[in-house]
Amino acid sequence: MVKSKMNSEDVLRLMKERRSVRAFKEDPVSDEAIEKILEAARWCQSASNNQPWRFIVIKNKDIIKKLSKFAIYGSFVKQAPLVIAIVANKDTAPNWFIHDTSMVSHQICLMAWSLGLGTCWIGSMNRDKAAELLGLNAEEHLTTILPIGYPKSIPGPTPRKELQELVSYLE
C-alpha cells in the first residue's frame, strides 16, 4: 500500500468545498499562482500517458471579453482576470482526448481552489469561433475555457445524492 504524505481528510475537504464561481474580483492572479496551477495540470493522469493537452493562458481583457461572448451561459467570463483554455490534440489521443482534457481541467480547478481562486467549467460554447480566435489548428479541440480569479462571493454547496443512491457492490 502506498502511504501518502497528505492527509486524506484535507483532500476530501478540498473536493467538498470547491465551488463553481461566476463572479470575480478585479485583482490579478499572480504569476506564482498561475505556475502552480499549470504544474498541477502537467502532473495529471492521461491515457497511456499521452498528455494530449496544451494550455493557453489568457490575461488580455479584449480576448477574454470576446471569449465570453462565445460562452452561451458564460457572460460572467469577462469579469475574470485570467482564463486558461484547455486544448486537446486529437491526433495524440484520438479516443481519449476529451477524457484526458476533462480530467486536467478538474485538476486545474482543484489547484486554483486550494490557492483561494475560483473557477467555473464552461461547457456550452461556440467552440469553433473560440478556436478561431485562439488560432487553433485543425487537429486541436478546445475542450473548455476556465475563467479564474478571486471570488467576489462563494456560493453555498449544491445538493448531493446520498452515497447509498449511487453505489452498488459486487462481491
- Does residue 158 sit within a domain? no
- The pLDDT value recorded for residue 64 is 98
Is the pLDDT at 170 greater than 90, yes or no? yes
Number of domains in the chain: 1
Q: What's the whole-model pTM score?
A: 0.95
The whole-number average pLDDT for the span 30-56 is 98
- Does residue 82 sit within a domain? yes
pLDDT digits (tens, 9 = 90+) for 111-154: 999 999 999 999 999 999 999 999 999 999 999 999 999 999 99
Q: Where are the alpha helices (H) located in the chain, listed in sequence order?
A: 8-17, 31-42, 61-70, 97-114, 127-134, 163-166
- Does residue 96 sit within a domain? yes
Domain, as residue range, for 119: 21-146
- The pLDDT value recorded for residue 6 is 82
Question: What angle, 0 to 180 degrees and rounded to 10, lies between the N-to-C axes of helices 61-70 and 127-134?
Answer: 160
> In the sheet that 118-119 helps form, which strands lie side by side, from edge to edge?
53-58, 82-89, 140-149, 118-119
Is the pLDDT at 50 greater than 80, yes or no? yes
pLDDT digits (tens, 9 = 90+) for 79-118: 999 999 999 999 999 999 999 999 999 999 999 999 999 9
- Does residue 5 sit within a domain? no
Is the pLDDT at 22 greater than 90, yes or no? yes
